[in-house]
């Protein structure tokens, strides 16, 4: 009976060790499950944190996707700019046309005003000439007629001077192409007369500082 008891004791110890091992394995599995369950929230939180950090990177994409909607159409901008330039051009053309018309009108008024002033200045001289013609029919005195003509001439020259007209001097003057027109050359003159006006065939006149008719002269050679 001793060997059987010994065998039963060994078998009982084996069963006890087996149960103990099974219990340890179950406890180990339980601990692993618990650890896995505890780790899952950490992983979820980690994933949420990663998503939170990645969220700002995705925001610019959303902004970029909205920017084209807020931008105006380039074609519309070009059309607006063309319309603005066209309006500016039309205004400039209208202003220039008004300026041209105003300038033409002012020029015509100046010409008309200048002509009116000249005519009014000459009218008294014409009246004197008419009176001289009437008196000339009543007298045969050549001296009286000559004196009358000289008075009218001097009056006419004063009237022209009031309008800015002056006679170009030619007496013993140096020949100057700005004022004189040589129509003849006189050879064989003294050295003092060379290059000077010898005779005036037709008088020249200036209006203010502008030559309106050159004096036709003979020049010593």
What digits encode the pLDDT tens for the residues 167-217?
999 988 999 999 999 999 999 888 888 889 999 999 999 998 899 999 999
The 10s digit of each residue's pLDDT in 49-97 is: 566 555 444 444 444 444 555 566 888 899 999 999 999 999 999 999 9
Query: Which 3 state secondary structure label does DSSP give 176?
Result: coil
Residue 111: CATH number of its domain: 3.90.20.20
Residue 170: CATH number of its domain: 2.30.22.10
Q: How confident is the model at residue 110 (pLDDT cuts 50, 70, 90)?
A: confident
Q: Do residue 111 and residue 138 come from a single domain?
A: yes
| pTM, 2 dp | 0.50
Q: Do residue 149 and residue 179 come from a single domain?
A: no
Cα separation, 195 vs 185, whole angstroms: 9
Residue 175 resides in a domain: yes
Cα separation, 206 vs 80, whole angstroms: 59
What Cα–Cα distance (Å) separates residue 101 from each residue in 88, 104, 105, 106, 220? 20, 5, 6, 9, 52
Q: Do residue 177 and residue 159 come from a single domain?
A: no
Residue 156 resides in a domain: yes
Residue 148 resides in a domain: yes
Range in 7-21, 138-152, 169-183 the model is least confident about = 7-21
What pLDDT was estimated at residue 56?
Answer: 47
Residue 100 resides in a domain: yes
Residue 132 resides in a domain: yes
Q: Do residue 157 and residue 179 come from a single domain?
A: no
- Residue after which a domain boundary falls, among 163, 185, 203: 163
- Residue after which a domain boundary falls, among 163, 180, 199: 163
Range of the domain at 133: 79-163
The better pLDDT of the pair 8, 34 is held by 34
Residue 58 resides in a domain: no
Residue 126 resides in a domain: yes
- Quote the number of domains for the chain: 2
Q: Do residue 159 and residue 171 come from a single domain?
A: no
Residue 48 resides in a domain: no
Q: Do residue 148 and residue 171 come from a single domain?
A: no
Range in 47-61, 104-118, 153-167, 207-221 the model is least confident about = 47-61
- Residue after which a domain boundary falls, among 163, 186, 207: 163
The better pLDDT of the pair 31, 181 is held by 181
Cα separation, 98 vs 177, whole angstroms: 42
The better pLDDT of the pair 205, 113 is held by 205
């Amino acid at each position: 009976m001793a060997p059987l008891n010994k065998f039963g004791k060994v078998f009982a110890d084996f069963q006890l060790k087996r149960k103990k091992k099974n219990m340890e394995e179950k406890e180990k599995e339980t601990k692993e499950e618990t650890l896995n369950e505890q780790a899952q929230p950490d992983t979820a939180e980690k994933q949420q944190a990663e998503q939170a950090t990645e969220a700002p990177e995705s925001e610019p994409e959303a902004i970029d996707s909205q920017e084209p909607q807020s931008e105006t159409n380039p074609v519309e901008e070009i059309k607006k700019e063309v319309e603005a330039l066209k309006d500016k051009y039309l205004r400039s053309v209208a202003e220039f046309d008004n300026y041209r018309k105003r300038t033409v009108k002012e020029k015509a008024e100046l010409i008309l005003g200048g002509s009116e002033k000249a005519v009014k200045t000459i009218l008294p001289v014409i009246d004197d000439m008419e009176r001289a013609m009437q008196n000339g029919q009543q007298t045969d005195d050549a001296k009286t007629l000559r004196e009358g003509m000289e008075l009218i001439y001097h009056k006419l020259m004063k009237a022209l001077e009031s309008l800015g007209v002056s006679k170009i001097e030619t007496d013993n003057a140096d020949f100057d192409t700005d004022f004189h027109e040589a129509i003849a050359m006189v050879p064989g003159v003294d050295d003092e007369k060379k290059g000077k006006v010898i005779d005036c065939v037709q008088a020249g006149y200036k209006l203010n500082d502008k030559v309106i008719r050159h004096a036709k002269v003979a020049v010593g050679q």
